[in-house]
């Protein structure tokens, strides 16, 4: 459950207090202001330098001149020839000075800088990606990176696991849209952990999972290498999803903000982790991992109705005010993560948080929790625990019905435009002028003509 919570809210609880009296931390950004990590209060950056004598000394002098204390620094070879990359943490109180250092790195030393976590400045309408390549702009704006683990994480004291997590983070950090997702050689220990989870959950799916999940799962076994002794590769799974519904996977190095994560869904892109939970606790993970993604989320993304429903939540988030992002994240929590649906006279699970948790998958269909009908207006305001089984679940009549309800809810979001996804160009069309409305009308007319022709041929 912690994993699903962090998927949509990062490290913060639904009732977390907002910082008072702070200034926007990122100059010139079109993003909305968000909180920094409350536990560590750090800003994380990666900068790359050419491999030449004195380059690092010059860079460090910039930090020294501005009085910035580096809380952490580590180096690694860059994928770019003759360059090295440096990952740093600085105290968030140095945010203003850091802007000047970043400018110096770029202008005086010709360094490349990527900010991984930083508060974002408010704007009238929050920036959102216009085409699928724009996802590259925030894919590394994450709330944690690589081997950074909380003290209560099962792998916190395991240096081998922490090093392995950094390997996965580096893969995601260097990924760009259109590239092939690098294949991972999973260790025997990692495969054994996957095998424990896979075996236990597969025994429950026939009786507890929705029919869409059970219809797709055998296809994943046949075409994507879903087996007890094998962890599927993200690239294989992504290609399978694209052939089914146009959804695709994108590796992510850590936890995205709710706004950024939901924006990916608008393009039918799911930001997926590639690492696996620690072997000491195979039935528990405090964050999303490859078991949660591949066993819980992926099967439903291959279903056309569920894919449309998920995308509808993403489209509703584009340009939405902060308070509505929080409400949409709550809708996501009670549907995509912990949703139940009616199927005939029975109720089945379709939420990934349920389908990847052996214990809660059983709990959700007992008489212990309270079941309520899915209504976005009410669901989006429901509070929920993150460290225990849910006391309340919302039941959808169907994915199509849930999609229409989310669409009506989205119409109440105060934004001066409507958006539409163009699958041909993989871009977002903002419907705020006559030309765009004309194009939409022509597209609808064309589709209606095809529908009428098909109906005539069936007579």
What amino acid positions are annotated as catalytic residues? 292, 297, 337, 356
C-alpha–C-alpha distance, residues 163 and 155, integer Å: 10
DSSP state for residue 270 in the 8-state scheme: E
The CA distances from residue 115 to 55, 127, 394, in Å, are 20, 17, 38
How does strand 112-117 pair with strand 392-396? unpaired
Q: Is 361 exposed, middle or buried (0-12, 13-18, 19+ CB in 10 A)?
A: buried
Tell which phi-psi region holds residue 32, choosing left (phi > 0), alpha (psi between -120 and 50) or beta. Answer: beta
Which residues, including other chains, have CB under 8 Å from residue 153's CB and lie 6 or more apart?
Answer: 278, 286, 287
125: how many CB neighbours lie within 10 A of its CB?
14
DSSP secondary structure string, 198-232? HHHHHHHHHHHB-HHHHHHHHHHHHHS--BTTBPP
Q: Which of 330, 329, 352, 328 is nearest to 340 (CA)?
A: 352
Q: How many alpha carbons lie under 13 Å from residue 294 in its C-beta half-sphere?
A: 31
Q: Is the dihedral of CA 300, 443, 266, 290 positive or negative?
A: positive
Q: What is the residue-wise DSSP string for 375-425?
A: -HHHHTT----SSS--SEEEEES-HHHHHHHHHHHHTTS--SSEEEEETTT
Residue 285: how many CB atoms within 10 A of its CB?
Answer: 28
What is the Cα–Cα distance from 354 to 338, expressed in whole angstroms? 6
Let me know: does 166 contact 148? Beta carbons within 8 Å: no
Whether the CB-CB separation of 205 and 217 falls below 8 Å is answered with: yes
């Amino acid at each position: 459950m912690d994993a699903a919570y962090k998927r949509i809210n990062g490290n913060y609880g639904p009732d977390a207090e907002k910082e008072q009296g702070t200034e926007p931390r990122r100059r010139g950004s079109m993003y909305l202001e968000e909180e920094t990590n409350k536990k560590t209060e750090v800003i994380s950056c990666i900068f790359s330098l050419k491999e030449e004598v004195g380059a690092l000394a010059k860079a460090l002098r910039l930090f020294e001149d501005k009085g910035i204390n580096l809380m952490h620094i580590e180096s690694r070879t860059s994928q770019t020839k003759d360059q090295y990359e440096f990952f740093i943490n600085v105290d968030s109180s140095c945010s203003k000075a850091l802007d000047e250092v970043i400018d110096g790195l770029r202008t005086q030393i010709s360094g490349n800088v990527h900010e991984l976590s930083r508060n974002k400045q408010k704007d009238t309408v929050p920036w959102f990606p216009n085409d699928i390549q724009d996802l590259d702009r925030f894919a590394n704006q994450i709330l944690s990176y690589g081997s950074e683990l909380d003290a209560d994480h099962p792998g916190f004291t395991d240096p081998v696991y922490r090093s392995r997590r950094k390997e996965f983070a580096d893969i995601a950090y260097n990924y760009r849209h259109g590239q092939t997702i690098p294949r991972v050689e999973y260790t025997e220990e990692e495969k054994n952990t996957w095998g424990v989870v896979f075996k236990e959950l597969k025994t429950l799916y026939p009786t507890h999972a929705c029919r869409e999940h059970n219809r797709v799962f055998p296809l994943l076994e046949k075409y994507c290498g879903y087996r007890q002794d094998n962890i599927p590769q993200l690239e294989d799974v992504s290609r399978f999803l694209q052939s089914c519904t146009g959804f695709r996977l994108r590796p992510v190095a850590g936890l995205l903000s709710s706004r950024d994560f939901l924006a990916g869904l608008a393009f039918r892109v799911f930001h997926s982790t590639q690492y696996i939970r620690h072997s000491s606790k195979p039935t528990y993970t405090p964050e999303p991992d490859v078991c949660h993604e591949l066993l819980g989320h992926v099967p439903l993304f291959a279903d056309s109705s569920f894919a449309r429903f998920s995308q509808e939540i993403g489209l509703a988030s584009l340009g939405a005010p902060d308070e509505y992002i929080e409400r949409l994240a709550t809708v996501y929590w009670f549907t995509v993560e912990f949703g139940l649906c009616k199927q005939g006279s029975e109720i089945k699970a379709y939420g990934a948080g349920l389908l990847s948790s052996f214990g809660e998958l059983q709990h959700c269909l007992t008489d212990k929790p309270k079941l309520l009908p899915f209504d976005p207006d009410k669901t989006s305001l429901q509070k929920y625990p993150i460290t225990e089984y849910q006391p309340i679940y919302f039941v959808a009549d169907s994915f199509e019905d849930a999609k229409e309800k989310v669409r009506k809810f989205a119409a109440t979001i105060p934004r001066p435009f409507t958006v539409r996804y163009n699958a041909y160009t993989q871009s977002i069309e903002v419907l705020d002028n006559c030309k765009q409305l004309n194009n939409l009308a022509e597209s609808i007319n064309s589709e209606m003509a095809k529908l009428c022709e098909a109906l005539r041929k069936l007579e």
